[in-house]
Structure 1
């Protein structure tokens, strides 16, 4: 058997991990040409010392290869590496400067911190929504992360990641585990409402940026394989089941931003992408 070209560190629960998965399938890789290793995001194993040695940020995905001096830990860099070593097919990074600039603009748009799907997944606008997230499994996820950060941080006090992420996640965990709603919750709820205003504007701006039939024109590019995981994760986090059902996402955003709707171009683009084999393989359901 041939030696795999690279190892992809991934997890089903990581939205950005599916950027390289989509690239792999768009590029026509054979499964024997690479290997994957599951990290364990829901259990907090992305913070394990072994994984942090690979990715000091504790994020997923990561990629290692004998041809690389150090691991790749950014989804854009990983996508470029996989694409550059593709066995067949056109590149997802075209050489035309104008089109490449458009692709970069679209990718940068969905990677903005202010448009993070953590808003939809982790935050809440009121006590009722927070309670639903607690019982729906998000509270367990946040708690698992905190336990692992504390455990690994105590054993590895010199690792910067633990010193930074433990208090950050700890604040969120405190909100989830508190017996009563306090002033800190009210601030959290207010920030969430403000976040949805920004998020709605970001979805509208994305709709205006799409060129169709795909994100940057008539061919699938790296822009498409970044937008799909970002949008799919938000659709799933709001309770979407069917891959074509935007209603739960629309309804949740509209609670905070009355009159909001998912743009027509976004819906058409999503329908076009959902017909591709790479999409069908990686998104038999939303996640």
Structure 2
């Protein structure tokens, strides 16, 4: 029996989170390129419930991260499972969105709005973009990771645990259940996926061990708990030190007001998303730029970004 192909190709689907640094970058790219809202579907993934760690999501993105953009192939003659491609690297997603609405693209879009080119204009700028993105996408300067370790003393730890413990508990619960279901045969998961879950479980248990006693003063803890708390503070300091070094490296080669001068580019999209989350992690909002970013070109960049209509729309 012949397979009947659909008359219309489904829209792309963006899986994202409102608390994800690189989801912000993709949303900003969509706004800068003036995609019409009808051109793709969006689905918010609840990170606090561990939704990116479920088996169904891992089939889309084995890394269990957001954003993920699932793109249909318009001229596919294959079966349903192969008519789609999942883009899981946020850098690749931003580049795809840039190229899909451009004078050179054959992609048919609904929007009639202008689509400025965001790709670097020269080979030198392309190389500089890669270097900058390598810096801010490094795991040791991830605002999403830092948000879990953003405490330096007993007082700040208590405040952090109040907001982040429910988040991590939710992840722990989901992963634990996934492992139980996999071991019982209720779901069919590969050994690779089960190993991923076990690693994630161990990671959350290490953090929760500190959060669950955050209401106690250091002197009230036994030696093991004190050691865990100190290691936690050290981790947070190490992450912030790495961020400070990254800011210095990035700011050193910026032209201003944006990375390469007046043109707003792919580099600016990711840098803006990265800085936004760092600012949110500080106690005094934008004023913290003077401490962690400085008063130079990065601070001016941050001011310029916030004035863009695209930024105000996300």
TM-score range, shorter chain: 0.7 to 0.9
2:36 pairs with 15, 30, 35, which one? 30
Provide the residue aligned with 1:151 in structure 2: 177
Residue 301 (structure 2) pairs with residue 269 (structure 1): yes
Q: Which residue of structure 2 lines up, in the alignment, with residue 246 of structure 1? A: 286
Mapping for residues 160-171 of structure 1, pairs under 5 Å:
160-171=195-206
Q: Which runs of 5+ in 2 are unaligned?
A: 1-7, 74-82, 102-108, 184-189
Whether 1:72 aligns to 2:87 is yes
Does the 8 Å CA contact 1:17/1:60 hold for their aligned counterparts? yes
Q: Which moved more, 1:194-203 or 1:17-26?
A: 194-203
Residue of structure 2 aligned with 1:125, choices 152, 167, 180: 152
Q: Is the partner of 1:63 in helix, strand or coil?
A: strand
SS in 2 for 1:17: helix
Aligned residues: 268
> Larger C-alpha radius of gyration, 1 or 2?
2
Q: How does 1:76-115 map to 2 (within 5 A)?
A: 76-86=91-101, 87=109, 88-115=114-141
**CA gap 1:232/1:146 in 2 versus in 1, 3 angstroms:** same
Q: Any unmatched runs of 5+ in structure 1?
A: 254-260, 283-287
CA distance in 2, matches of 1:275, 1:3: 37
How far the C-alpha of 1:267 sits from its partner, in A, is 1.3
* Cα contact 1:210–1:265 (8 A) shared by 2: yes
Q: Is the 8 A contact 2:146 2:239 kept in 1?
A: no
Give the alignment's TM-score, normalised by structure 2.
0.79
1:219 equivalent in alignment to 2:263: yes
Deviations 1:14-49 (A, max 9, x none): 111111111111111111111101111122212122
Query: Residues 145 and 110 (structure 1 numbering): CA distance in 2 closer, same or farther, change over 3 Å?
Result: same
SS of aligned partner of 1:133: helix
- CA root-mean-square deviation: 2.1
